[in-house]
Amino acid sequence: MEKVVEAEPRAVVFVCDRQGAALGRRERCLRLAGIAYDIEAERRPSGTYYKLGVRERDAVAAHLALQMGGCGRSSRLRQSQSGVAASLREMAHTLWDEALLLLERLVDLVWTAAPRLLTGPARASR
CATH number at residue 60: 3.30.70.1530
Same domain, 92 and 58: no
Q: With respect to residue 125, please indicate whether it lies within any of the assigned structural domains.
A: no
Q: With respect to residue 14, please indicate whether it lies within any of the assigned structural domains.
A: yes
Same domain, 17 and 68: yes
List CB contacts of 4: < 8 A, sequence separation 6 or more. Answer: 10, 36, 37, 38, 53, 54, 55
Q: Which of 71, 70, 12 is nearest to 37 (CA)?
A: 12
Query: Would you state the pLDDT for residue 80?
Result: 58
pLDDT at 77 over 50: no
Same domain, 68 and 86: no
**Residue-number span of the structural domain to which 48 is assigned:** 10-72
Contact 53, 9 (CB under 8 A): no
pLDDT at 122 over 80: no
CA distance 34 to 116: 63
Q: With respect to residue 4, please indicate whether it lies within any of the assigned structural domains.
A: no
Taking the chain, what is the end-to-end CA distance rounded to the nearest angstrom?
90
pLDDT at 74 over 70: no
| Number of domains observed in the structure of the chain | 2
Same domain, 38 and 64: yes
Contact 52, 15 (CB under 8 A): yes
Same domain, 109 and 58: no
CA distances from 63 to 39, 53, 116 (A): 16, 11, 57
pLDDT at 7 over 80: no
